[in-house]
Amino acid sequence: MRAVGEEVVFVSGSDEHGTPIEVEAARRGVDPREITDRNHAIVVDLFKKFNLSFDNYTRTHNEVHIKFCQELFMKIYNNGYIYEQEVSQLYCRNCGRFLPDRFVTGVCPSCGYPRARGDQCEACGRVLDPLDLVEPRCSICGEKPVVESSPHWFFDLPRFSERLRNWLLSNKTLPDKVRNFSLSWVREGLKPRSVTRDNLWGIPAPFPNAGGKTIYVWFEAVLGYVTATIEWAEKIGQPSLWKEFWLDSETKSAYFIGKDNIPFHTVIFPALLMASGEPYILPYTVSATEYLTFEGRKFSKSQGVGIWLDQAIAMLPADVWRYYLVKIRPETSDSNFSYDGLQAVVNADLNDSLGNFVHRVLTFIVNHFDGKIPQPALLMAEDTAMLDAVEKTFTEVNNLLSKVHERQALETVMQLARDGNVYLNRREPWKLVKTNKQEAATVLYVAAQTVKALALLLHPFIPDTSKRLLEILSQSDVKISWTDRKLWTLAAGTLIKKPTPIFEKLSDEKLETIKTSQASSPS
């Protein structure tokens, strides 16, 4: 979107509240903040190494977020969409506290798994309430809890059923799967949802007499998209700029999530924004991926199935991982990460198609034209066809990315590199250079335009490679633009730098090294 000249703000953040962190902190006897500080720093560092171009990657335990959430929930409360109700809950007398979600473990009422958590049974996947557990135990001290009554604050979600349904039906840019899944949720009947928890770690609930309660993590984490934008606007010294992104009906917001998070983005989040009574924009699209498996198995931290990002980046350049992960992005159906697949893709796409094409063109220019982009003579049909393909690729990739079809967009860019190779093989400049140097010059001029186009088009996918190509072409200062044709051209006479291969094949030996070190030492 930046490449086509849109005003973009790209935000996300570490979701730091919630029971798992609090339980871990209680067990280790440390402040939850200690754990989240460490985790956030690790994540920020990794995202930087993988070149994610966030305008703001923040965290939910920060003042801007906490203040905004408290104010928004008070608006919703004052608008009459939040009410108080007594509920029965498990209480640990030994620890002197109520036990939400994972603070309780016990026997699953469904499958009999003995270590089911209060929020969900890991064995059968059933979503649970702590009171459902047979033989419940406090996760901290192991004591048997008692049932006690406590007030909680509920968001009256059913009152938004009709508005949500209308919005889901009228939003044509939501993927069908996402729309249908969300509509089925609404159709089954929405229930009031408790927005408070008896967690100590979290955002203090702002409602009257709600001392000691915090806001349920899922209800505040989604608001982080708004607060990350507010924080960004403050950081760049234009504190009201965030409103253009959230309160202007022309703005389009796109969300990239896993499919298990769909209802939070298409039901809970929009309903909260509606309930605020302010004209917040609702999601334009929600790109929810299906599941990715690792060598045919489910990723698992405890069983060491997967590869740690810090290890991955130590083995191969960020661009290789980025390329392969977009290539296998589970956009429309589940997909699988495999080392053999990684090797095949690196060798066929990055090394053979892209790397070879670029290298052939650039070394030829260095060897036969003193490193200067040659002046073209008369264009033949095949030359014009190649330049047309370049132009068409810009339009097509832009269209595909606007629809969040990332896999296809990447494939379209790679097809241009393949077309480039075919073009060279047909035109055979290595023969022409001996018989008709002018015609060889034309071919290399056209091929060089294609290399520059590839450098520009690859920018969002593999930014380091894009940057390196532009450097070799002496185009480091050029603006990445997919709409300004003048900027695509590589002028005749431009002196390029001596190229070195941009990718190398992934050998069997190297692949073995990567495989054996996978998941051996988690950070």
Q: Enumerate binding residues for Zn ion (CB under 5 A).
A: 92, 94-95, 108, 110-111, 113, 121, 123-124, 138, 140-141, 143
Cβ atoms within 10 Å of 278's Cβ, excluding its own: 11
- 122 exposure class (CB count in 10 Å sphere: 0-12, 13-18, 19+): exposed
Q: Rounded to the nearest whole angstrom, what is the least distance from the CB of residue 89 to Zn ion in the complex?
A: 14
* Sign of CA pseudo-dihedral 33, 36, 41, 44: negative
Characterize the bridge pairing of strands 254-258 and 285-289.
Answer: parallel
Residue closer to Zn ion by CB (options 92, 409) is 92
The H or E element that residue 415 is part of is helix 406-427
Query: For residue 45, what are the CA distances in angstroms to 23, 224, 449?
Result: 25, 20, 36
Cβ atoms within 10 Å of 142's Cβ, excluding its own: 10
Residue closer to Zn ion by CB (options 92, 446) is 92
Residue closer to Zn ion by CB (options 95, 380) is 95
Q: Rounded to the nearest whole angstrom, what is the least distance from the CB of residue 132 to Zn ion in the complex?
A: 10
Q: Rounded to the nearest whole angstrom, what is the least distance from the CB of residue 92 to Zn ion in the complex?
A: 3
Residue closer to Zn ion by CB (options 79, 88) is 88
Exposure string of 316-340, with b = 16+ CB inside 10 Å and e = fewer, is bebbbbbbbbbbbbbbeeebebebe
Residue closer to Zn ion by CB (options 90, 190) is 90
Q: Rounded to the nearest whole angstrom, what is the least distance from the CB of residue 137 to Zn ion in the complex?
A: 8
Q: Rounded to the nearest whole angstrom, what is the least distance from the CB of residue 133 to Zn ion in the complex?
A: 10
Q: Rounded to the nearest whole angstrom, what is the least distance from the CB of residue 97 to Zn ion in the complex?
A: 7
Q: Rounded to the nearest whole angstrom, what is the least distance from the CB of residue 170 to Zn ion in the complex?
A: 39
CB–CB of 15/221 below 8 Å?
yes
Tokens representing residue 209 in the block? 């007499």
Which of 191, 183, 154 minimizes the C-alpha distance to 266?
Answer: 183
Residue closer to Zn ion by CB (options 143, 388) is 143
State the Cα–Cα distance between residues 306 and 294, nearest whole angstrom.
Answer: 6
Residue closer to Zn ion by CB (options 10, 113) is 113
Helix, coil or strand: residue 97: strand
Q: Rounded to the nearest whole angstrom, what is the least distance from the CB of residue 312 to Zn ion in the complex?
A: 33
Partners of residue 153 on adjacent β-strands: 84
Residue closer to Zn ion by CB (options 302, 435) is 302
Extended beta strands in 9-54, E state = 11-14
Residue closer to Zn ion by CB (options 300, 483) is 300
Residue closer to Zn ion by CB (options 72, 121) is 121
Tokens representing residue 83 in the block? 């009410």
Count helices and strands (H / E) in the chain: 20, 15
Q: Rounded to the nearest whole angstrom, what is the least distance from the CB of residue 114 to Zn ion in the complex?
A: 10
Q: Rounded to the nearest whole angstrom, what is the least distance from the CB of residue 88 to Zn ion in the complex?
A: 18
* Sign of CA pseudo-dihedral 167, 170, 172, 176: positive
Query: For residue 495, what are the CA distances in angstroms to 188, 200, 420, 491?
Result: 65, 63, 21, 10
CB–CB of 478/444 below 8 Å?
no
| Helix 356-368 vs helix 437-457: crossing angle, to nearest 10 | 140
Q: Rounded to the nearest whole angstrom, what is the least distance from the CB of residue 150 to Zn ion in the complex?
A: 16
Residue closer to Zn ion by CB (options 95, 379) is 95
Q: Rounded to the nearest whole angstrom, what is the least distance from the CB of residue 128 to Zn ion in the complex?
A: 8
DSSP of 175-222 = -HHHHHHHHHHHHT----EE-EE--SSSPBP-STT-TT-EE-HHHHHT
Residue closer to Zn ion by CB (options 91, 488) is 91
State the Cα–Cα distance between residues 484 and 28, nearest whole angstrom.
Answer: 57
